[in-house]
């Protein structure tokens, strides 16, 4: 046996060539700094966009959810019909009996799982201006509610208090201002005990709400609440919509609450067997889910759009690899003459391409998270690093190198060693 | 018999024209022979060397290397044979420009699956045997032509191949450096290696112990000179 045919473990070979190919890739990136960096930055920009988008979207999503469904405890929400449901005749739905305080009282007396109940009158977009001495608010919503509303939506009071049951029963002209109108009317003064005007009626300010620091901004702060009895007396309008909010006692499951409320509501509304419900129950959980799925869709669309940037990076890597393969034709010939198999050559260029885009990916991940954190600070929402997306971003950008590097690498691997060796 | 070639042909088809670059060669080369292949330009020397080096397969005929039939192997098998059995020395050196002398020498070992430690030792060993220990960390553009060719020879030797093939190894060197390289080949031959070399120059061919002259892809003359 000749000295050249020493036994070699083929598994060993793989490792050696792989290491060499990776070392080679780093070497090439080092020697072609300019061109490599341009590509890396190109891919990085793509990844940054996608990742910043995803991070902001998921953070924003959580925040929007918690802002819209702002309650510490899950709650039920009864309206006359499904606010999101289409398909039914709107006029027919609007003819349904309003929900009333009698329904609330009936539930209060009979519902074992209900903790607190609130009747709310939604002015359906009708806006009003609040005035105090020379100051006035923008157009804001004034809603009617029971004393339980504050508790139900975990409204935090900055000054004063929420109005009481007593005040509701007596239809007192008391008002709780949202953060927006409170700032507008009482920039530097204590608002408590002051009398503001809505139209010709005067209301005593008993409390103001704390800022919610919401992404929805002023929308969720620009409103005021008065007792629903007072509302009916002063501001009532025939198109107002009545809704009932209920929190469920902690010892009950949300579903149990839904079932009980459903049965009691049918009784309260005196629906016979076989008659369809003339009310609709939503839960905060269902609402959250629905919001979540809408946000996921929006996010997905944004990701798809921003991935187009990554495709451009892919074409860039293909171009650079084609140049690289042509430039190194002779090297390919030499390697083949020295014993590189076609797959070894293929692997070499694929690793090079994947290293380039993978490096771009890592830079992009870094910049993307930085961007996301900046945006998060700016509009104050919880900045969460989605680990899975970091992994996806890296794998995806490396795969772009592999996919777009395939054609150039294959071209190198299929070279005729003799021609390659004599390439000028 | 290290090399046994039977009626080997290499036919290139260019358009409708058929070129018989190698037109039927019978040849046997023993272990530790030192052969020079000569002949006018276009006589098929390089084409024949490529066949011997398993860079190409013959259009017809048989080729046994080390007792193994290699004329019909797959690309991967040929790569394996080149890696283990053959050491190439080229006229233009063909070193990788970005790699150091030592890294160039290690290349065949990498494709042979040798571990990094052993590679380093063996590269250092052959670099020493060609007198370039102090140039191991230099890149080709920091070396003279003669030094580059010595690195290339070290690279050809590092896998302890059965045969060293050199196509005009002194073609790009001045005559003094060429003679230095030839004396290095002498040493390598003396150590028991087999060398087949293509050359145009009679005084270079004089170093060999056997001279084969090609004409139009055929052996015209085969003379032993030792
Ligand atoms: N790939 C190819 N396609 C077509 N013809 C080729 C090819 N390679 C070589 N030939 C032809 O084969 C013949 C032999 O070429 P080869 O390179 O072997 O000659 P050589 O003896 O090495 O010449 P030189 O001394 O100039 O290097 C020439 O006529 C050449 O044109
Ligand atoms: Mg030639």
Tell me the CATH number at B139. 3.40.50.300
Nearest to A222, CA basis, from A168, A178, A280, A269 = A178
pLDDT at residue number A8: 46
pLDDT at A353: 94
Q: Which pLDDT belongs to residue B193?
A: 95
Q: Do A342 and B75 touch (CB under 8 A)?
A: yes
What is the percent of chain A with per-residue pLDDT over 90, rounded to a whole number? Answer: 38
What's chain A's Rg over C-alpha atoms? 33
Domain-located, residue B43: yes
* Predicted local distance difference test score (pLDDT) of residue A2: 41
Ligand nearest the Cα of residue B56 is: 1
Interfacial A residues in 318-377 facing B (CB < 8 Å): 330-331, 333-344
Selected for mutation to probe chain A from B66, B75, B79, B167 (highest A CB count within 10 Å) is B79
How far away is chain B from the Cα of A402, in angstroms, using its nearest Cα?
22
What is the SS3 assignment for A414?
A: coil
What are the pLDDT tens digits along chain B (226 aa)? 899 999 999 999 998 999 999 999 999 999 999 999 999 999 999 999 999 999 999 999 999 999 999 988 999 999 999 999 999 999 999 999 999 999 999 999 999 999 999 999 999 999 999 999 999 999 999 999 999 999 999 999 999 999 999 999 999 999 999 999 999 999 999 999 999 999 999 999 999 999 999 999 999 999 998 7
Q: Would you say A401 and A355 are in contact if contact means Cβ atoms under 8 Å apart?
A: yes
Query: How does DSSP assign B31-66, residue by residue?
Result: TT-EEEEE-STTSSHHHHHHHHTTSS--SEEEEEET
Q: B7: left (phi > 0), else alpha (psi -120 to 50), else beta?
A: left
SS3 B79: helix
User: How much distance in Å is there from the Cα of B42 to the middle of ligand 1?
Assistant: 5
Q: How far is the CA of B65 from the centre of ligand 1 (A)?
A: 23
The 3-state DSSP class for residue B196 equals: strand
Residue B92 lies in a domain: yes
Helices within B191-221 (DSSP H only): 202-205
Q: Is B17 inside any structural domain?
A: no
- pLDDT of A381 reads 65
**Among B55, B98, B162, beta carbon nearest to A417:** B55
pLDDT for res A277: 86
* Res. A308: pLDDT tops 60: yes
Residue B189 structural domain: 33-57+72-224
- Phi then psi for residue A189, to 5 deg, are -120, 160
Q: Does B138 touch chain A (CB under 8 A)?
A: no
pLDDT value for A67: 64
Check pLDDT > 90 for residue A208. Answer: yes
Q: Does B75 touch chain A (CB under 8 A)?
A: yes
In a domain, B40, yes or no: yes
Tokens 């052959």 sit on residue: B126
Q: Is B137 helix (H, G, I), strand (E, B) or coil?
A: coil
Q: How far apart are CA A101 and CA A88, in angstroms?
A: 26
Q: Give the minimum alpha-carbon distance from A326 to chain B in angstroms, rounded to a whole number.
A: 15
Q: Residues A97-103: contacts with CB within 8 Å, 24+ apart?
A: A97/A269, A97/A278, A98/A241, A98/A242, A99/A242, A99/A243, A99/A244, A99/A279, A100/A242, A101/A228, A102/A268, A103/A78, A103/A244, A103/A265, A103/A268, A103/A269
Give residue limits of the domains in chain A. Answer: 10-66+296-421, 75-283
Q: Ligand 2: distance of its center to the CA of B39 in Å?
A: 10
Q: Please state the ipTM of this predicted complex.
A: 0.96
Higher pLDDT, A387 or B150: B150
- pLDDT at residue A71, as a whole number: 58
Angle (CA) B132-A337-A409 rounded to 5° is 115
- First vs last C-alpha separation in chain A: 39
Nearest to B3 by CA among B88, B68, B60, B56: B68
Please name the residue whose Cα sits nearest to atom 13 of ligand 1: B21
For residue A407, the tally of other CB atoms under 10 A from its CB is 13
Residue B212 lies in a domain: yes
CB contact under 8 A, B113 and A336: no
pLDDT at A269 over 70: yes
Between B88, B110, B160, which is nearest A20 by CB?
Answer: B110
The Cα–Cα gap between A378 and A368 comes to 15
pLDDT of residue A84: 67
The Cα of B134 is separated from the nearest Cα of chain A by a number of Å equal to: 23
Q: Does B171 touch chain A (CB under 8 A)?
A: no
Pairing status of strand B218-224 against strand A174-177: unpaired
Cβ atoms of residues A369 and A55 within 8 Å: yes
Q: Is residue B5 part of a domain?
A: no
Tokens (6 digits) for A38: 């341009």
Q: Is residue B162 part of a domain?
A: yes
Tell me if B12 CB under 6 Å of ligand 1.
yes
Mean pLDDT of the region A85-109: 81
Is the model more confident about A307 or about A224? A224
C-alpha to C-alpha distance for A361 and A344, rounded to whole angstroms = 25
Task: Please state the domain count of chain B.
Answer: 1
B10 interaction partners in chain A (CB closer than 8 Å) = none
Name the strands in the sheet holding B194-198, side by side, starting at the edge strand that comes first in the sequence.
B86-89, B163-167, B194-198, B34-38, B210-215, B218-224
To probe the interface with A, which of B32, B78, B83, B99 has the most A CB atoms within 10 Å? B83
Contacts of A344 in chain B (CB under 8 A): 79, 111
Best mean pLDDT range from A62-66, A285-289, B87-91: B87-91
The closest alpha carbon to A337, from B106, B105, B87, belongs to B87
For residue B47, give the ligand nearest its CA. 1
Is A13 close to B111, i.e. CB distance below 8 A? Answer: yes
Residue for token digits 């048989």? B62
pLDDT single digits (tens) A175-196 = 999 988 999 899 888 899 999 9
pLDDT at A123: 84
Centroid of ligand 1 to alpha carbon of B22 (angstroms)? 9
Shortest-distance Cα residue to atom 26 of ligand 1:
B41
Dist CA A400 CA A308 (whole Å): 12
State in Å: Cα B45 to ligand 1 middle. 8
């Amino acid at each position: 046996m000749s000295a050249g045919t020493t036994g070699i473990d083929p598994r060993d070979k793989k490792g050696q060539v792989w290491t060499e190919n990776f070392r080679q890739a780093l070497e090439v990136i080092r020697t072609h700094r300019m061109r490599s960096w341009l590509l890396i930055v190109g891919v990085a920009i793509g990844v940054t966009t996608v990742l910043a988008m995803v991070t902001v979207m998921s953070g924003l999503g959580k925040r929007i959810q918690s802002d819209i469904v702002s309650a510490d405890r899950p709650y039920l929400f009864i309206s006359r019909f499904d606010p999101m449901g289409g398909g039914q005749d709107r006029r027919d739905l609007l003819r349904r009996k309003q929900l009333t305080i009698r329904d609330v009282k009936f539930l209060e007396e009979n519902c074992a799982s209900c903790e607190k109940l609130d009747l709310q009158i939604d002015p359906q977009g009708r806006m009003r201006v609040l005035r105090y001495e020379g100051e006035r608010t923008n157009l804001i919503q004034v809603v009617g509610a029971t004393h339980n509303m504050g508790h139900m939506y975990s409204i935090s009071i900055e000054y004063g208090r929420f109005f009481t049951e007593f005040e509701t029963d007596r239809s007192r002209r008391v008002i709780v201002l949202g953060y927006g109108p409170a700032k507008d009317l009482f920039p530097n003064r204590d608002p408590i005990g002051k009398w503001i005007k809505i139209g010709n009626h005067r209301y005593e300010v008993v409390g103001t709400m704390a800022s919610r620091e919401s992404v929805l901004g002023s929308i969720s702060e620009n409103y005021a609440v008065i007792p629903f009895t007072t509302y009916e007396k002063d501001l009532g309008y025939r198109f107002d919509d009545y809704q009932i909010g209920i929190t469920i006692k902690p010892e009950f499951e949300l579903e149990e609450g839904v079932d009980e409320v459903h049965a009691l509501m049918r009784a309260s509304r005196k629906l016979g067997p076989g008659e369809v419900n003339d009310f609709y129950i939503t839960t905060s959980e269902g609402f959250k889910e629905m919001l979540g799925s809408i946000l996921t869709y929006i996010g997905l669309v944004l990701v798809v759009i921003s991935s187009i940037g990554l495709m451009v990076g892919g074409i860039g890597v293909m171009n650079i690899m084609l140049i690289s393969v042509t430039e190194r034709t002779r090297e390919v010939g030499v390697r083949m003459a020295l014993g590189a198999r076609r797959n070894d050559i293929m692997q070499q260029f694929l690793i090079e391409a994947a290293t380039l885009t993978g490096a771009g990916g890592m830079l992009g991940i870094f910049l993307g998270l930085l961007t996301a954190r900046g945006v998060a600070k700016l509009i104050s929402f919880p900045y969460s690093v989605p680990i899975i997306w970091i992994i996806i971003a890296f794998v995806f950008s490396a795969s772009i190198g592999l996919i777009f590097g395939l054609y150039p690498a294959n071209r190198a691997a299929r070279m005729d060693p003799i021609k390659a060796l004599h390439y000028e | 018999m290290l090399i046994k070639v039977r009626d080997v042909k290499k036919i290139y088809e260019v358009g409708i024209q058929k070129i018989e670059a190698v037109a039927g060669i019978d040849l046997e080369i023993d272990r530790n022979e030192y052969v020079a292949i000569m002949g006018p330009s276009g006589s098929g020397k390089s084409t024949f060397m490529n066949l011997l080096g398993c860079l190409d397969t013959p259009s017809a005929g048989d080729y046994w290397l080390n007792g193994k039939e290699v004329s019909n192997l797959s690309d991967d098998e040929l790569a394996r044979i080149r890696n283990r059995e053959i050491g190439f020395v080229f006229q233009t050196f063909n070193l990788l420009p970005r790699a150091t002398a030592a890294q160039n020498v290690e290349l065949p070992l990498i494709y042979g699956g040798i571990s990094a430690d052993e590679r380093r030792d063996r590269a250092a060993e052959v670099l020493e045997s060609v007198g370039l220990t102090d140039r191991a960390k230099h890149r080709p553009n920091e070396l003279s032509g003669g030094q580059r060719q010595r690195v290339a020879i070290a690279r050809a030797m590092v896998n302890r191949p059965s045969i060293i093939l050199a196509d005009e190894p002194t073609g790009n060197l001045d005559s003094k450096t060429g003679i230095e390289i030839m004396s290095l080949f002498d040493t390598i031959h003396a150590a028991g290696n087999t060398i087949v070399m293509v050359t145009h120059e009679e005084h270079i061919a004089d170093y060999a112990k056997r001279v084969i002259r090609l004409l139009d892809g055929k052996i015209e003359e085969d003379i032993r000179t030792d």
